[in-house]
Amino acid sequence: MMKKSIPYCLFLLVSFWLFSCEKADEYSSAPRENFEALWKIMDEHYCFFEYKDVDWNDVYARYSVQVTDTMKQDQLFKLLGEMLNELKDGHTNLISSFDVSRYWKWYEDYPANFSEDIQENYLGTDYMIAGGMKYKKLSKDVGYIYYGSFSNAIGETNLDYILMYFKDCKAIILDVRDNGGGSLTYSDRIAARFLDNKITTGYILHKTGTGHNDFSRPYELTLIPSERVRWLRPVVVLTNRHCFSATNDFVNKMKMMPHTTILGDRTGGGSGFPFSSELPNGWSVRFSASPMLNAAMEHTEFGIDPDVKVNMLTEDMQRGKDTLIEAALQLIERMNIKI
């Protein structure tokens, strides 16, 4: 069972009501009014201005002069989306009835380090599926789990069956590559299965005013061991740059586990807890409103480095081999684990 501190839970409830239900008072399609509204929402509520060294007033000056009363809606949308991209934030989107702006530079300049076609060479067609997790034994000693999205509900009973299936294995490879995130509930639920003692996994802060640095004191986030089936043997977690948001959070937690090795590429980050607001024309904006820090009170917004850095090799891919899975298998073999 997963637990969080009471202040954190109360904060999430209050903040969700304050931000996600915030709507414009009166409808207006005027470009200037919507530009001003968006800039102000971000100015008062966005949480990473200082950390990312973004001069939001300078952004205003550069984009304000481009707004005209005769702009079409698609032109305004493009301009506002470009303004939001100045924040370099994968959690920040402008959402209309015809498009969604998004910032993808956080992963575009990184190698993919994952191929579904090559993964099939390991999974085959006889793998099992439970709660969005694909799993099978790669050998009598090594289990393999692939979890492609933290939006896929994973239940406690699912996890019981999966871990019991690997009871005779020496180690597990837990692959979260290309997992773009989802629910933090599942991040905690899964991580708690690899934990022996209660730990502090990080901290969250929330805005207390409209100033860029108006934050509350850090609220501690804790994780306690599951009371159900747990795995306290070696685990190798495979990561790539597409590990974002809740997956970034999961890797942060797993990096603290005594029997876990993170192998692969730096994660994509995305540590700001997102909320939404509405513009006068009905468009909505989603943005990072509350920074989440690791246990050392460090930001992970730009990603988490692996313990062992491994990239997919062209020669391996040409032979249908996954360099990261092979490296994980070699690492487990060198551990000389006894059950």
The C-alpha atoms of residue 43 and residue 211 are separated, in whole angstroms, by: 8
Helices (runs of H) and strands (runs of E) counted in the chain: 11, 12
Supply the pLDDT for residue 264: 98
How far lies 35's CA from each of 21, 32, 275, in Å? 20, 5, 19
The C-alpha atoms of residue 26 and residue 16 are separated, in whole angstroms, by: 22
> Range(s) for CATH 3.30.750.44 in the chain?
31-108
- At residue 8, φ and ψ (nearest 5 deg) are -65, -45
Supply the pLDDT for residue 21: 44
- At residue 308, φ and ψ (nearest 5 deg) are -125, 115
The pair of structure tokens assigned to 138 is 């790669």
CA angle 77, 71, 32 (to 5 degrees): 80
Nearest to 180 by CA among 108, 135, 241, 237: 241
Strand partners for 308: 263
3-state secondary structure of 106: helix
Q: What is the pTM for the complete model shown?
A: 0.91
The CATH code belonging to domain 31-108 is 3.30.750.44
Output DSSP code: residue 16: I
pLDDT in tens, the chain (339 residues): 333 333 333 334 334 434 444 566 689 999 999 999 999 999 999 999 999 999 999 999 999 999 999 999 999 999 999 999 999 999 999 999 999 999 999 999 999 999 999 999 999 999 999 999 999 999 999 999 999 999 999 999 999 999 999 999 999 999 999 999 999 999 999 999 999 999 999 999 999 999 999 999 999 999 999 999 999 999 999 999 999 999 999 999 999 999 999 999 999 999 999 999 999 999 999 999 999 999 999 999 999 999 999 999 999 999 999 999 999 999 999 997 776
Nearest to 262 by CA among 176, 145, 192: 176
The C-alpha atoms of residue 119 and residue 256 are separated, in whole angstroms, by: 27
Check if the beta carbon of residue 232 is closer than 8 Å to that of residue 261. Answer: no
The pair of structure tokens assigned to 140 is 């009598």
Check if the beta carbon of residue 48 is closer than 8 Å to that of residue 274. Answer: no
3-state secondary structure of 130: strand
The CATH code belonging to domain 116-195+230-268+303-337 is 3.90.226.10
> Range(s) for CATH 3.90.226.10 in the chain?
116-195+230-268+303-337
- At residue 225, φ and ψ (nearest 5 deg) are -60, 145
Supply the pLDDT for residue 12: 40
Instruction: Find the length of the chain.
Output: 339
Single-letter amino acid code for the residue at 40 = K
